[in-house]
């Protein structure tokens, strides 16, 4: 049997975070997004070197930073069932607010927060289907208000 080029259950594009503490990040994602921890690879000293979590139908991979791979700033957009609840959970366990839950011109309700390792997370739920011309009108109106 031929090897599948994309493993079963994995999406084609997967965020890969380079961070200081993989174990801490996986716990944060479990607490905030109800992520399922899929993989936890530890080094001989017990430090987690690589991890994978699944949030809904999507995977996020992460690796421990090193001299050759320093931590990198990242932003991840996650669709959730309850933006307000996710935002409150994140803030309650140490995330810093970027934006409180807000209905946006493009039809999503968003909230933004930075986790303790500096990764920016945007929780969203789609609340309104908007025609392309209406979205462009709203975007232009918004830009003029700035």
Domains of the chain: 8-72 (3.30.720.120), 73-146 (3.30.720.110)
Q: How many CB atoms lie within 10 A of CB 113?
A: 22
Report whether 98 contacts 52 (CB < 8 A).
Answer: no
For 52-78, letters b (16+ CB in 10 Å) and e give bbbbeebbbbbbbbeeeeebeebebeb
Q: What is the CA radius of gyration of the chain?
A: 18
Question: Does position 2 have pLDDT exceeding 90, yes or no?
Answer: no
Q: What digits encode the pLDDT tens for the residues 36-81?
A: 999 999 999 999 999 999 999 999 999 999 999 999 999 999 999 9
Gap between the Cα atoms of 26 and 31, Å rounded: 9
Is residue 27 very low, low, confident or very high in pLDDT (cuts 50, 70, 90)? Answer: very high
DSSP 44-113: TTS-EEEEEEEETTEEEEEEE--SSS-----EEEEE-S-HHHHHHHHHHTTPEEEEEEEE-TTSEEEEEE
pLDDT of 1:
80
pLDDT score for 137: 93
Res 146 pLDDT > 80: no
Alpha-carbon distance of 80 to 78, in angstroms, equals: 6
Question: Taking a C-beta distance cutoff of 8 angstroms, is the pair 17, 64 a contact?
Answer: no
What does the pLDDT look like over 76-120, one tens digit per residue? 999 999 999 999 999 999 999 999 999 999 999 999 999 999 999
């Amino acid at each position: 049997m031929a090897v599948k080029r994309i493993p079963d259950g994995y999406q084609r594009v997967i965020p890969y975070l380079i961070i200081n503490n993989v174990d801490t990040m996986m716990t944060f994602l479990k607490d905030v997004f109800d992520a399922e921890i899929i993989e936890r690879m530890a080094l001989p000293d017990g430090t987690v070197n690589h991890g994978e979590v699944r949030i809904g139908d999507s995977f996020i991979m992460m690796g421990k930073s090193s001299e050759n791979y320093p931590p990198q700033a990242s932003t991840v957009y996650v669709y959730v069932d309850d933006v307000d609840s996710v935002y409150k959970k994140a803030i309650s366990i140490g995330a810093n607010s970027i934006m409180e839950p807000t209905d946006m011109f493009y039809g999503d309700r968003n909230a933004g927060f930075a986790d303790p390792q500096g990764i920016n997370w945007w929780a969203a739920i789609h609340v309104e289907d908007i025609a392309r011309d209406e979205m462009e009108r709203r975007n232009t109106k918004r830009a003029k208000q700035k």
